[in-house]
Amino acid sequence: MPIRQPIVSVLGHVDHGKTSLLDRIRTSSVAAKEAGGITQHIGATEVPLSTIKEICASLLREQQIKIPGLLFIDTPGHEAFTTLRRRGGSIADLAVLVVDVTEGFQPQTIESLTFLREFRVPFIVAANKIDKVRGWVRHAGTFADSYKKQNKETRELLDNKIYELMGQLSEHGFVADRYDRISDFRSTVIIVPVCAANGEGVPELMAMLIGLAQQFLTQKLEIKGDIGAGSVLEIKEVKGLGTTIDVILYDGVARKGDFLVIGGETPIVTTVKGIFKPRPLAEMRVERQFAPVDEIIAAAGSKMVAPNLEGVIPGSPIRVVPHKSDVDAAVRELKREVETVTFESSNDGVLVKADTLGALEAMIKIITSKGIAIRKARIGPVSRTDVMEQRGVAEPYNVVIFAFNVPVAPEAEALRESVHIFAGNVIYRLIEDYVAWTHTRKEELKLARLEGVVRPGKIRLLPGMVFHAAKPAIVGVEVLGGLIKPGYSLVKEGRIVGRLLQVQHEGANVQEAKTGDRVAVSIEGATVGRGLEERDVLYTLQSKENVKKLEELKDLLTRDEIDVLEEIKGLMGG
């Protein structure tokens, strides 16, 4: 079977050099004109093997390579990565995670790493901006040659930065090392130091990508047959063509005149009326920007024209089939595929909304891995109906909507108080915010359930801390266990001593005092020297009904509150 090019996606934090690295790869490829240059696709750039060999020189020249080249997705970042999906993962076969070597991991780096792990995409770390390391002198070409020309101090500074990256990757469960120190490429993440500004390290990066694909991906890269499989990158209106879809084809063949099946909640069946690719750079001055072609073979990016494309969303899976008899099977396949991502169940759980199928799938994977139940997952903005449905969920921690990269409709926003909406474009931050909110919510619910219940408390009068003997008695006490609050009655050996009026800490009134606290209290009805002495131990007054409630709410009490409760029950003879 013929082998296609691996599809490569470039990810990383903003301003760490994703676009610059892609531009550098294109520039290096165009410069190698005698080797074939590059072929521009819609949404992607194809770099053939002959060009890669020219860039990598001796790094690849002697090797027997079956991989025909690399297809780089032109749009960097996790948005394109999650949009371009296939069943159970991303259409990207490989990824480059760009990290500013002087800054290390940043929020979007961690986000990208999360996607790579969830979709199980092999990746290489491009440790970019090595020229920002103090003392670094730029030398175009390989990193190895440039590294040798740096002074010892600069080399050590860079080595330390690489070790820091290795440590950060380790924190996320990945073993990593610099490319030239790795013996087991199957279990070790490759780090290639690069400078996108002048191309240092780009030869090693390209060589490592080809090497990984050659060693581990050849079976996956086999073109399986005539049926084209791909993903919708964008939907665009083009003058003279009408509604078009930009598609990345990752398997098979697509021909003009074939049947086109597009997945969604209701699959669309239509016919390919035209397939277009960009004209070569030399022909860019001609009036029409796109050139028609009769067919494309994976892996490829193209613009397709067909009727009834309204309503197609980015990330939709497509199948291109040559015969009408194949259409029903393709419809069933895509319906099953979409239903694994967009679903609704009768279970109690959160609602998840996202802008694309891939983003929704990533959200589902990450949310469920955190043990959060999902009731419904859909594409599109948060609507009033979404809020109305979700506020009927029984479990208070699930009265929640996750909105990734989608707006909240004004009529839904007006009902926001009844449902907690976590909206944003960084998934892990949405999850962090949710976890923090649940912690706060648990405390609120705990306090609500304990409202009106007298908590178990045990105090001791401190010697030499009688400030007023009576009307009211004001004394210093230490809380030995549980907690005390104003309004609680206190007992000594089964006899009521009095009622707490105020609790003060360092001269300020407080609402409660807990184990270990030393506070001043005023006790109404108590007289020091008449049934109340220094060093006396007092308990909060508990009725049988209150003890029963405390037993029911035991899971909300602290360990020392439970211990004090057991002491009180013993004193009550129960």
Examine the domain organization and report whether 152 and 197 are in the same domain: yes
Examine the domain organization and report whether 276 and 202 are in the same domain: no
Q: pLDDT digit string (tens) for 274-333?
A: 999 876 543 333 445 778 999 999 999 899 999 999 889 888 999 999 999 999 999 999
pLDDT (0 to 100) of residue 123: 98
Look-up of token digits 């990207």: 92
What distance in Å separates the CA atoms of residue 22 and residue 72, rounded to the nearest whole number? 8
Q: Give the residue from 319, 339, 359 where a domain finishes.
A: 339
Residue 1 lies in a domain: no
Number of domains the chain is built from: 4
What distance in Å separates the CA atoms of residue 250 and residue 235, rounded to the nearest whole number? 18
Examine the domain organization and report whether 205 and 247 are in the same domain: no
Q: Give the residue from 284, 319, 339 where a domain finishes.
A: 339
pLDDT confidence bin for 228, thresholds 50/70/90: very high
Q: Give the residue from 424, 450, 476 where a domain finishes.
A: 450
pLDDT (0 to 100) of residue 144: 95
User: In the numeric block, which tokens belong to residue 554?
Assistant: 């035991």
Secondary structure tally for the chain: helices H, strands E: 14, 33
pLDDT confidence bin for 474, thresholds 50/70/90: very high
**Which residue has better confidence, 259 or 240?**
259
Q: pLDDT digit string (tens) for 331-357?
A: 999 999 898 899 899 889 999 999 888
Q: pLDDT digit string (tens) for 352-394?
A: 999 888 889 889 988 998 899 999 999 999 999 999 999 999 9
Examine the domain organization and report whether 126 and 24 are in the same domain: yes
pLDDT (0 to 100) of residue 501: 95
| Helical ranges in 423-473 per DSSP H | 427-450
CATH at residue 318: 2.40.30.10
Q: Name residues whose C-beta falls within 8 Å of residue 440's C-beta, 6 or more positions apart in sequence.
A: none
Task: Calculate the average pLDDT of the chain.
Answer: 90
Domain that holds residue 403: 343-450
Examine the domain organization and report whether 428 and 481 are in the same domain: no
Residue 77 lies in a domain: yes
Per-residue pLDDT for 62 more than 70? no
What distance in Å separates the CA atoms of residue 139 and residue 145, rounded to the nearest whole number? 8
Examine the domain organization and report whether 268 and 308 are in the same domain: yes
The string over 238-248, giving b where at least 16 C-beta atoms fall within 10 Å of a residue's C-beta and e elsewhere, is eeebebbbbbb
Examine the domain organization and report whether 362 and 440 are in the same domain: yes
Examine the domain organization and report whether 60 and 77 are in the same domain: yes
Residue 2 lies in a domain: no
Provide mean pLDDT across the span 459-467.
94
The string over 285-321, giving b where at least 16 C-beta atoms fall within 10 Å of a residue's C-beta and e elsewhere, is eeeeebeeeebbebbbbbbbbbeebeebbbbbbbbbb
Q: What phi, psi does 365 have (nearest 5°)?
A: -60, -50
Q: pLDDT digit string (tens) for 106-120?
A: 988 998 998 899 889
Query: What is the share, in percent, of the chain residues with pLDDT greater than 70?
Result: 95
Residue 548 lies in a domain: yes
Q: pLDDT digit string (tens) for 140-160?
A: 889 999 999 999 999 999 999
pLDDT confidence bin for 574, thresholds 50/70/90: low
Indicate the SS3 state at residue 43: coil
What distance in Å separates the CA atoms of residue 497 and residue 495, rounded to the nearest whole number? 6
Examine the domain organization and report whether 397 and 543 are in the same domain: no
Residue 223 lies in a domain: no
Examine the domain organization and report whether 479 and 536 are in the same domain: yes
pLDDT (0 to 100) of residue 26: 79
pLDDT (0 to 100) of residue 30: 57
Of 130, 147, 246, 238, nearest to 194 by C-alpha is 130
Provide mean pLDDT across the span 62-87.
82
- In total, the chain counts a number of residues equal to 574
DSSP 4: P
Residue 465 lies in a domain: yes
**Which residue has better confidence, 236 or 208?**
208
CATH at residue 438: 3.40.50.10050
Examine the domain organization and report whether 489 and 419 are in the same domain: no
Per-residue pLDDT for 436 more than 80? yes
pLDDT (0 to 100) of residue 397: 92
Say if strands 489-492 and 537-540 run parallel, antiparallel, or are unpaired.
Answer: antiparallel
Per-residue pLDDT for 479 more than 90? yes
pLDDT confidence bin for 244, thresholds 50/70/90: very high
Residue 442 lies in a domain: yes
How much is the pTM? 0.73
The string over 353-385, giving b where at least 16 C-beta atoms fall within 10 Å of a residue's C-beta and e elsewhere, is bbbbbbbbbbbbbbbeeeebebbbbbbbebeee
pLDDT (0 to 100) of residue 281: 44
What distance in Å separates the CA atoms of residue 110 and residue 278, rounded to the nearest whole number? 34
Examine the domain organization and report whether 281 and 167 are in the same domain: no
pLDDT (0 to 100) of residue 37: 63
Provide mean pLDDT across the span 6-18.
90
pLDDT (0 to 100) of residue 435: 93
Q: What phi, psi does 385 have (nearest 5°)?
A: -60, -40
Residue 562 lies in a domain: yes
